[in-house]
């Protein structure tokens, strides 16, 4: 499989090169040259396949040219060695729980897959690889955990000061060793712009080898298809495929789901569930793509005013707006509605949502109200305990703390505070 830059001004590369580079030299995102297709029999037999078999079949077309079969199987096995259950909430709504991994967030899948691929590729290189990543919350912890102690790889994580939850901050600032946290006095978009500027700096990249672990990296983005296939495997009524509702910030997750659909996965419709950062829902209404500064919300991992991965969604649909609108609907959910949904679902269904899941639940509920014959799945992207400071006052009770979180809460935070100043970041990277 070859990958091309969506800016169309860079050479095609292999999966290995796309993973190591992160972003193309022309600053475009890499995109597969062709989209694999699963035949009807493969889809029909999915219930009889193990998750590992499904994942291998999904990722092999992209990665098998660069990673031997036995190594790829090992990487996949380690990537998904935790449950990903589909839980029924009521007669029309199901939760795909993606929080059973080591950092209790959906990004564990992509981060674990990428870290193991990059660790495999790093063995062939004499120079150290520096992974530079911006996080609005869960990416930081997942990347830190996935790359911790990976030989030949240093990780630098930028996160917005005061705009990630206390648990998220602990997950990305307490590991040490090859994991370095920079606490930026700004927004996630500020962090992302600093990272993009570093990749565009030829002087810097001539001195250190940089790659990205955000969902712009194909090795982070592509394996997120796995859990859409896993959900369909457990979907009882295969003759009526589900609606998928995805809490959306940088749009890598929903883009992976739409790629899976175009490759043959039966899906009724996709919903992008957004908070006040609603550039895509507004685009779907007006046809005008107007980025905006990020607005802080309760669902902080979705506080993105300029989602990087939306350009990939446009490419999936050949930039044809009518075709995209047939497949994707957007909803905007307020913080007040998020709190009300957490409270109502806990009281009425006995199910506890995190703020991102609450945005997804309410958006799905509204869509299903408008389409009475359908049923759907929302992605519960993080464990509620990661946002206990938001959720506990809403439900007026304490959330039981999983052992993995209990272990890190007493640990001291280690981070370096910086302003939104590229020269400071550049000096840090060179001296690190």
The CATH code of the domain that includes 320 is 3.40.50.1100
Token pair in block for residue 164: 């990630």
Task: Tell me how far CA of residue 351 lies from CA of 97, 154, 190, in angstroms.
Answer: 12, 39, 35
Q: What is the model's pLDDT at position 370?
A: 97
Question: Would strands 243-247 and 153-160 be described as parallel, antiparallel, or unpaired?
Answer: unpaired
Residue 86 lies in a domain: yes
Residue 170 lies in a domain: no
Rounded CA Rg of the chain: 20
Mean pLDDT of 208-223: 90
Mean pLDDT of 326-331: 97
pTM of the entire structure?
A: 0.91
Residue 201 lies in a domain: no
Over residues 92-141, the pLDDT tens digits come to: 999 999 999 998 999 999 999 999 998 898 887 778 889 999 987 778 88
Residue 427 lies in a domain: no
Over residues 44-99, the pLDDT tens digits come to: 999 999 999 999 999 999 999 999 999 999 999 999 999 999 999 999 999 999 99
Residue 319 lies in a domain: yes
User: What are the φ/ψ torsions at residue 372 (nearest 5 degrees)?
Assistant: -60, -25
Judged against a pLDDT cut of 80, whether residue 430 lies above it is answered with yes
Q: Into how many domains does the chain fold?
A: 1
Q: What is the model's pLDDT at position 300?
A: 87
432 is catalytic: no
Residues 6+ apart with CB under 8 A from 333: 273, 274, 275, 341, 358, 359, 362, 363
Closest residue by Cα to residue 92 from 350, 347, 364: 364
Q: What is the model's pLDDT at position 226?
A: 98
Task: Tell me how far CA of residue 231 lies from CA of 25, 57, 143, 238, 278, in angstroms.
Answer: 36, 16, 24, 11, 26
Torsion of CA 216, 219, 221, 227, to 10 degrees: -170
Residue 177 lies in a domain: no
**Residue of 16, 107, 170, 375 marked active site:** 107
Please classify residue 428 by burial: count the beta carbons closer than 10 Å to its beta carbon, then call 0-12 exposed, 13-18 middle and 19+ buried: middle
Structural domain that includes position 375:
82-106+221-399
Residue 52 lies in a domain: no
Residue 407 lies in a domain: no
How confident is residue 316, by pLDDT bands cut at 50, 70 and 90? very high
Q: What is the model's pLDDT at position 211?
A: 86
């Amino acid at each position: 499989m070859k990958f091309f830059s969506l800016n169309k001004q860079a050479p095609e590369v292999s999966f290995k090169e796309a993973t190591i580079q992160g972003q193309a030299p022309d600053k475009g995102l890499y995109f597969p040259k062709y989209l694999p297709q699963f035949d009807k029999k493969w889809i029909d037999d999915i219930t009889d396949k193990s998750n590992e078999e499904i994942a291998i079949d999904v990722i092999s077309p992209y990665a098998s040219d660069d990673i031997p079969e036995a190594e790829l199987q090992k990487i996949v096995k380690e990537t998904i060695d935790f449950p990903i259950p589909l839980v029924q909430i009521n007669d029309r709504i199901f939760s795909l729980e993606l929080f059973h991994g080591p950092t209790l967030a959906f990004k564990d899948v992509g981060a674990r897959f990428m870290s193991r691929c990059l660790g495999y590729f790093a063995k062939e290189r004499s120079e150290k690889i520096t992974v530079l990543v911006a996080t609005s919350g869960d990416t930081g912890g997942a990347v830190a955990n996935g790359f911790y102690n990976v030989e030949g790889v240093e990780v630098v994580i930028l996160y917005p000061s005061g705009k990630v939850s206390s648990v998220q901050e602990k997950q990305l600032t307490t590991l040490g060793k090859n994991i370095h946290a920079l606490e930026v006095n700004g927004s996630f978009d500020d962090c992302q712009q600093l990272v993009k500027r570093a990749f565009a700096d030829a002087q810097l990249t001539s001195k250190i080898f940089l790659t990205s672990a955000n969902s712009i990296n194909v090795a982070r983005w592509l394996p997120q298809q796995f859990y859409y296939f896993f959900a369909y495997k457990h979907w009882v009524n295969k003759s009526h495929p589900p609606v998928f509702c995805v809490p959306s910030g940088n749009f890598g997750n929903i883009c992976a789901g739409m790629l899976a659909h175009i490759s043959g996965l039966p899906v009724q419709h996709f919903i992008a569930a957004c908070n006040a950062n609603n550039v895509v829902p507004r685009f779907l209404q007006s046809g005008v793509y107007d980025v905006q500064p990020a607005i802080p919300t309760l669902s902080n991992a979705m506080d993105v005013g300029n989602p990087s991965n939306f350009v990939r969604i446009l490419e999936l649909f050949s930039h044809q707006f009518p075709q995209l609108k047939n497949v994707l609907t957007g909803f905007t959910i307020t913080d007040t509605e998020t709190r009300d949904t957490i409270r109502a679902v806990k009281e009425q269904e006995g199910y506890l949502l995190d703020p991102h899941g609450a945005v997804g639940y309410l958006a799905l509920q509204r869509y299903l109200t408008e389409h009475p014959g359908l049923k759907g799945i929302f992605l519960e992207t993080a464990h509620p305990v990661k946002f206990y400071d938001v959720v506990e006052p809403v439900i007026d009770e304490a959330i039981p703390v999983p052992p993995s979180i209990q272990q890190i809460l007493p640990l001291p935070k280690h981070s370096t505070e910086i302003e939104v100043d590229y020269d400071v970041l550049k000096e840090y990277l060179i001296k690190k």
